[in-house]
Chain A
Amino acid sequence: MLAFVGLTGIGAFVTIAAFFTGPNPVGNWSRRNLASLFGAIIVSAVVYLVSPAIHPFFGVGYNAVGVAIVAGMLVLTLAPDLRFIALISASVAVFGLLLEQIGFFAALTGTILLSCAAEREHFRKPLGVLGLIVFMLALCWWVFILQLDIRVHLWPTF
């Protein structure tokens, strides 16, 4: 365990040092990008710690982790260079967050809606998104629920 902590510490130091020195292929670490990244980490940590006290829903299973990822990733969308990875990660987290309590259809709708935000063209033609949601709900219901018999709530359970 000591070796693990030591290696993690060295890794963290190298990662932080890499943000400020040498070639930078990950992105342009402008002030806005950096502020969004650190903001996302702080917001995630706070939401993870506070959310179970706000509503019992967040205390169940990994819901606190899910809502922390969603919140952190939404803050990260403010970083222009990390917008896509943040939105796509948030939409996957929304799926995990909604699936077991709010249901299969709501989880799919939430994931598609949020992921579509990554493509600006969808804002101009929202009918296309609506069509996509209807098509995907029908297809996934047929493939995963009817054919593959995946046991999951389709509608909200309170």
Chain B
Amino acid sequence: MQFLIENLAHGFTIAFAGQNLLFALLGAFIGTAIGVLPGIGPVATISLLLPITFGIPPETAIIMLAGIFYGAQYGGSTTAILLNLPGEVSSVVTTLEGYKMAQNGRAGAALATAAIASFLGGTVGTLLVAASGPALSAVALSFGPAEYFSLMLLGLIVASVLAQGSPIKAVGMVILGVGLGMVGTDVQTGQQRFTFGIAELSDGISFVAIAMGMFGIAEIVLNLERPEARSLLKTKVGSLWLNREEWKRGTPSAVRGTLLGSVLGILPGGGAALASFGSFMMERKMSKGRHLFGKGAIEGVAGPEAANNAASQTAFIPLLTLGIPSNAVMALMVGALIIQGIQPGPQMMVQQPDLFWGLIASMWIGNVMLLVINLPMIGLWVKLLQVPYKFLFPAILVFCCIGTYSISNNVFDVYMTIAFAVFGYICAKLQLEAAPLLIGFVLGPMMEEHLRRAMLLSRGDWFVFMERPISATMLAIGLVALIMMLLPAVRRGKDKALAE
């Protein structure tokens, strides 16, 4: 306990440093803005801002990028409540009851509920990251290459199984991502793999080109194809104060949402969207006000909003302790850390204490900032919604172009971005999720490294993965998850849950 308090105190001194505080505020502000604006999400924004992080210290960079991620979860609820239009996927369910509350003249109360529940979820999630980090890191230090390989394989399988839509398609995208990660120079033999004599590919395909193309530019095209009808709520936002009845009904839902979100956030492929959907389903079945669902039930706002924020914090646990990204945003965080020369994993807490504890402390500070940014400044965000998309998308495009070019000052990456934008567009049309590809791309080279190391240590004996108990357990869980998902009954259940 003392270790935790001491380190958290150290983290707060880092997070309260002027530059870090400023970038946390900037991240929270940008996050809220992109959360409010439909058509641009945290994945695209973080990939857009990756090049900007080169010139700043790693802890400052990660603090800002994390702020964008959890800030987007806060901001997403504003459009969901006022416009019936989710700013983020994780805010989709908030539209159902939040917009109804707004129609009933309780828009202010719905916005306040979302912000307070988000704060609760975010705070508990941060505490969990702080508490579980050291313990998990200690366990992870006993892992050998075989365990790491099996853990990453398990991560990829669970990410595919929990992805939206067909698990077969998700597995296909993961494999393609792993394949793309193989392009470049083999670090052990110096052999060129799939470079076709193109010198620019010898360092591998640019991570930023994939992220910008598939998440940034492809998203612009898809948004242009479905022009949205933004009709701002005509009624006033009204008082932000909750009455006693609303407090009484909303509090247990927020607590339940926090607990569920904290667990689901850790799962690979889970993240904020799964948490908010799960919490909504739970509230509709368990809460006292379940008969009010469809008429503006506060439980339908408090639960999912707490869940998505708790999940967005606990998603950092596998990244910070094991170096494994659980979703596309965390894959971008891995990219940002690697660009800064930091290998995420259990050693990070010891080797980069400023980054590890500074980030955790900044999450809590960021949550306080978001409460201030979101509630008193609601008028500003409503005004931001009036900026037409026709002026936003050329600006986003220009940032994508400059961002991609600035990675290595080479136009080759710009042309690669076009290729991935076209590919991302086709994938979206064919309902192929891009996130598993990005996770596969990041984890692929790491998996290969651990696989080769394990094979070297075992002198080529493949049974090393089955002989070591932790590794064997993880492989068995992965196999069970894969078989379960391929069973028709389980698939039907998942499809039904997603349809609901």
Q: Which residues of A contact B (CB under 8 A)?
A: 4, 25-27, 61-62, 65-66, 69, 84-85, 88-89, 91-93, 95-97, 99-100, 107-108, 111-112, 115-116, 118-119, 121-122, 128, 132, 136, 140, 143-144, 148-152
Closest partner residue, chain A, to B224 (CB atom): A84
Complex Cα gap A83–B393 (Å):
16
Complex Cα gap A69–B422 (Å):
12
Instruction: Assess the A84–B225 pair: CB atoms within 8 A.
Output: yes
Instruction: Assess the A26–B430 pair: CB atoms within 8 A.
Output: yes
Binds A, one of B116-124, B275-283, B292-300, B397-405: B397-405
Q: Which of B391, B399, B406, B411 sits near A61, CB closer than 8 Å? A: B411
A140 partner residues in chain B, CB cutoff 8 A = 398-399, 402
Given A99-B405, A128-B391, A25–B415 Cβ distance below 8 Å? Answer: no
Instruction: Assess the B55–A89 pair: CB atoms within 8 A.
Output: no
B19 within 8 A of A: no
Closest partner residue, chain B, to A115 (CB atom): B394
B231 within 8 A of A: no
Interface residues of B in 42-59 (CB under 8 A from A): 51-52, 54-55
Instruction: Assess the A92–B401 pair: CB atoms within 8 A.
Output: yes
Instruction: Assess the B395–A148 pair: CB atoms within 8 A.
Output: no
Complex Cα gap A15–B70 (Å):
40
Tell me, rounded to whole Å, the shortest Cβ–Cβ distance linking A65 to chain B: 6
A84 partner residues in chain B, CB cutoff 8 A = 221, 224-225
Interface residues of B in 404-426 (CB under 8 A from A): 405-406, 409, 411-412, 414-415, 417-418, 421-422, 425-426
Complex Cα gap A150–B406 (Å):
7
Q: Which of B220, B395, B411, B414 sits near A136, CB closer than 8 Å? A: B395
Q: Which of B194, B395, B421 sits near A88, CB closer than 8 Å? A: B421
Closest partner residue, chain A, to B396 (CB atom): A115
B393 partner residues in chain A, CB cutoff 8 A = 115, 118-119
A66 partner residues in chain B, CB cutoff 8 A = 411, 415
Please name 14 further chain A to chain B contacts, defined as beta carbons within 8 Å, in addition to the given A25-B430, A88-B217, A96-B405, sorted by A numbering. Answer: A85-B221, A92-B217, A93-B414, A96-B401, A97-B411, A111-B394, A111-B398, A115-B393, A119-B393, A128-B391, A136-B395, A144-B402, A148-B52, A150-B405
Complex Cα gap A26–B426 (Å):
7
**Using an 8 Å CB-CB cutoff, how does the interface string of B382-398 with A read, 1 for contact, 0 for none?**
00000000110111011
B234 within 8 A of A: no
Closest partner residue, chain A, to B389 (CB atom): A119
Tell me, rounded to whole Å, the shortest Cβ–Cβ distance linking B493 to chain A: 25
Instruction: Assess the A25–B397 pair: CB atoms within 8 A.
Output: no
B248 within 8 A of A: no
Query: Which bucket holds chain B's interface residue count?
Result: 35 or more
The main secondary structure of chain B at its interface with chain A is helix
B429 within 8 A of A: yes
Instruction: Assess the B220–A88 pair: CB atoms within 8 A.
Output: yes
Instruction: Assess the B414–A89 pair: CB atoms within 8 A.
Output: no
Q: Which residues of B contact A (CB under 8 A)?
A: 51-52, 54-55, 194, 217, 220-221, 224-225, 390-391, 393-395, 397-402, 405-406, 409, 411-412, 414-415, 417-418, 421-422, 425-426, 429-431
A65 partner residues in chain B, CB cutoff 8 A = 415
B425 partner residues in chain A, CB cutoff 8 A = 85
Complex Cα gap A85–B405 (Å):
20
Tell me, rounded to whole Å, the shortest Cβ–Cβ distance linking B402 to chain A: 5
Closest partner residue, chain A, to B194 (CB atom): A4
Q: Which of B55, B390, B421 sits near A122, CB closer than 8 Å? A: B390
B409 partner residues in chain A, CB cutoff 8 A = 150-152
B412 partner residues in chain A, CB cutoff 8 A = 62
B411 partner residues in chain A, CB cutoff 8 A = 61-62, 66, 96-97, 99-100
Most chain A beta carbons < 10 A, residue from B54, B394, B414, B418: B394
B54 partner residues in chain A, CB cutoff 8 A = 148
A25 partner residues in chain B, CB cutoff 8 A = 429-431
Instruction: Assess the A69–B415 pair: CB atoms within 8 A.
Output: yes
Instruction: Assess the B217–A62 pair: CB atoms within 8 A.
Output: no
Complex Cα gap A65–B419 (Å):
12
Complex Cα gap A94–B417 (Å):
13
Closest partner residue, chain B, to A90 (CB atom): B418
Q: Which of B418, B426, B429 sits near A69, CB closer than 8 Å? A: B418
Complex Cα gap A65–B409 (Å):
17
Complex Cα gap A112–B393 (Å):
9
The 4 tightest CB contacts between A and B, nearest first, are: A96-B414, A96-B411, A95-B401, A119-B390
Complex Cα gap A108–B415 (Å):
16
B399 partner residues in chain A, CB cutoff 8 A = 140
Instruction: Assess the B431–A119 pair: CB atoms within 8 A.
Output: no
A122 partner residues in chain B, CB cutoff 8 A = 390
